[in-house]
Every structure is written in C-alpha cells, then in structure tokens.
C-alpha cells in the first residue's frame, strides 16, 4: 500500500507556542474539518508543541488517508521521529506532501500517536516487569476537496487563534527521568541511552490547542522548496527545475531559508 511519494520531510521553523511547561502536545494542524480546492501536492502537517518533553518518550506518529468514495484508495504514512532534534525548534513540525487530493472527493485522516514512559512504581520497587508503560491515542478528521473551495493556504489556515480543539493530544510529562532496568525490553532505549521519563497519572490533562501553532510564509516557503527539491531529483522532474540535475538539490537548498538547511542537516530525507 505504500506509495513512492510517502517520503518524510520534517521542517522545523517556528514562532509562538506554549511556554515551558510539563505539557507536551501533538496536533494535526492541517488539514482541518474544512473544504479545500483539489491540489497537486497537498500538505499534511503535524506540530509537536513543547517538543523537548518528547525526548525520552519514543514517540510514534502514524496516519492513514482514506478516500471515502473509493475503499481501495487508502494510504498509510509514518513519521520517523526517533532521530528528531527535539531541542531545535518549538513547535516541531512534521509534514508530508501527498498527491492524493488532485480531484474532488471526501476524505478522512485517521492518526495515531504512541508513546512509552517509565513504569515508576515497578522500576523503583524492583518488580518483575518486562515492559514500559505504553500508551496511544487516535483521532480522525474529515475534509472535502471541491473545485469551488478556497485554495490550500497554510498561513491563512493557521492564522485564526480560535478553532475547535479536537485535533490533538496533551501529555503531562514530568521532570523525573529513570534508568530503564535491565530485563525491560524497550526499542526506544537505543535512542535515549535507556533513559525513560515519568508521565503524570493525573486524570485532568489540559485541553489541546492546535490553534496556538502558526505556520508563517517562511515555513511554507521552506516546505515548498524541499518539495521542489525532491520533485527535481525524481526520475521525471517538472519543467522548471534547475538545469544541472546533479546540483539541483544543492542549489535549491542554498537558495532556501536557513531553517530548511537545518532540517536537511539534522534529518535528511527518508524515502519510502
Ligand atoms: C465538520 O464540520 C461540519 C461543518 O462545520 C460539521 O457539520 C461536522 O459535524 C464536522 N465534522 C466533524 C467530524 O467534526
Ligand atoms: C539540536 O538543535 C540544537 C539547537 O539548534 C543544537 O544546538 C544541537 O546541536 C542540535 N543537536 C543535534 C544532535 O543536532
Ligand atoms: C494513557 O494516557 C492517558 C492520557 O494521558 C491517561 O489518562 C491514561 O491513564 C494513560 N494510560 C496508561 C495505561 O498509562
Ligand atoms: C476564526 O474562527 C472562528 C471560530 O471558528 C470563526 O467564527 C471565525 O470566522 C474565524 N475567522 C477567520 C478569519 O477565519
Ligand atoms: C547517550 O550517551 C552518549 C555518551 O555518553 C552521549 O553522547 C549522548 O548524547 C547520549 N544520548 C542521549 C540521547 O542522551
Ligand atoms: C502535571 O503533573 C504534575 C504532577 O502530577 C502536576 O503537579 C501538574 O499540576 C500537572 N500539570 C497539569 C497542567 O495538569
């Protein structure tokens, strides 16, 4: 079911967000429950607010795009976050462009966030546990593409400070980290030096607020430049690519904004 176009771009450049606090928040920023004009390359954008809180959580983020009018048209995506530099930018943006929405239709995005934290009581009391505390949550958003609708505009879409808050997850990540005991199998340990973090068990978690995330013109430009870079390095590049194919990527990267370079440097491209 995988498509060649599902490659990961992680751009991370940004302005305002939540203040330093315990609260890690992951939101689907775009699309929303709205109607957009069909577009050749459609962005799907997630934001991690307060991302330094994600460092020891082994976050996993997956989503599926569904065509509600054609049950065979289903595409899964995964964001590889283990290599993310969580201290670089706040919020941390993970995005992908997909060619799935070139026609009118009705669509669903189903996304799942997974995280793993210390089993504080068991680890402290040397209980015979083999596992971390694993947790996950899933959300869905529906949207429509229609020729008469407004064009996709990430800047406009994220400019409004009031929006319905049903697109995200807030996790209360404490300051307490622990060494994962021997005998506990944890794939995340390889990325954190076997350090885990305690997630607060308090039942009241704050309400997520994806509307705090602004995507400005600079970010959009960097996303588009990285998309173009990728297209130009494809077998069948668009007509407006720089002539010298070999250096096309480099030229575009140099022309791009510095945060784009940072994203390349830190993360590179993952092509699937
Ligand atoms: C999406 O928005 C429409 C119109 O605003 C509303 O009727 C519908 O209930 C919303 N659907 C979801 C799943 O939020
Ligand atoms: C992560 O980003 C910070 C801030 O930009 C930088 O100082 C640090 O070197 C980066 N870490 C890695 C491993 O790239
Ligand atoms: C999973 O996370 C939610 C929200 O933080 C929390 O209410 C729930 O208790 C957690 N489940 C486990 C097994 O830790
Ligand atoms: C911002 O969102 C509110 C509530 O959803 C809505 O009433 C308002 O029209 C929106 N403003 C703009 C400029 O989109
Ligand atoms: C893991 O330990 C190594 C060596 O002590 C250190 O360089 C690296 O930054 C640590 N990684 C993390 C995620 O703490
Ligand atoms: C997060 O958890 C800590 C420890 O349980 C608690 O003191 C704090 O009030 C919680 N924060 C929020 C915003 O719920």
- Give how far the C-alpha of residue 75 lies from the chain's centroid of Cα atoms, to the nearest Å: 16
Q: Is 135 in the pocket of ligand 3 (CB under 6 A)?
A: yes
- Tell me the per-residue pLDDT of 126-159, one tens digit each, with 9 for 90 and over: 778 888 999 999 999 999 999 999 999 999 988 8
3-state secondary structure of 38: coil
- Tell me the per-residue pLDDT of 90-126, one tens digit each, with 9 for 90 and over: 999 999 999 999 999 999 999 999 999 999 999 998 7
- Site to probe by mutation for ligand 5, drawn from 85, 186, 193, 197 as the one with most ligand atoms within 8 Å of Cβ, is 193
The domain ranges of the chain are: 6-209
By alpha-carbon position, which residue is closest to atom 8 of ligand 5? 193
CB 101 within 8 A of CB 87: no
CB 36 within 8 A of CB 259: no
- In the block, tokens 């040397």 appear at 126
Token couple for 142: 């529906």
- Does this model's pTM top 0.85? no
Residue 229 exposure: Cα atoms within 13 Å on the Cβ side: 23
3-state secondary structure of 156: helix
Residues pairing with 143 in the sheet = 107
């Amino acid at each position: 079911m995988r498509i060649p176009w599902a490659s990961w771009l992680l751009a991370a450049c940004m302005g305002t967000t939540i203040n330093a606090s315990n609260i890690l928040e992951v939101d689907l920023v775009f699309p929303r429950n709205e109607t957009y004009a069909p577009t050749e390359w459609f962005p799907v954008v997630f934001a991690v607010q307060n991302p330094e809180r994600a460092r020891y959580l082994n976050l996993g983020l997956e989503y599926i795009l569904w065509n509600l009018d054609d049950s065979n048209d289903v595409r899964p995506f995964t964001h590889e976050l283990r290599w993310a530099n969580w201290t670089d930018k706040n919020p941390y943006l993970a995005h992908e462009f997909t060619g799935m929405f070139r026609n009118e239709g009705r669509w669903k995005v189903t996304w799942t966030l997974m995280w793993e934290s210390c089993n504080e009581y068991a680890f402290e009391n040397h209980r015979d546990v083999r596992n971390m505390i694993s947790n996950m949550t899933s959300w869905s958003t529906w949207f429509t593409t229609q020729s008469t609708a407004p064009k996709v505009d990430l800047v406009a879409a994220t400019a409004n400070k009031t929006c319905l808050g049903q697109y995200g997850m807030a996790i209360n990540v404490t300051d307490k980290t622990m060494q994962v005991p021997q005998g506990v199998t944890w794939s995340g340990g390889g990325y954190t030096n076997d350090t885990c973090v305690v997630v607060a068990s308090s039942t009241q978690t704050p309400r997520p607020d994806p509307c705090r995330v602004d995507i400005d013109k600079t970010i959009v430009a960097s996303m588009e430049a990285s998309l173009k870079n990728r297209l130009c390095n494809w077998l069948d590049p668009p007509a407006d690519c720089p002539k010298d194919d070999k250096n096309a990527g480099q030229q575009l990267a140099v022309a791009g904004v510095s945060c784009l370079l940072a994203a390349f440097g830190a993360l590179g491209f993952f092509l699937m």
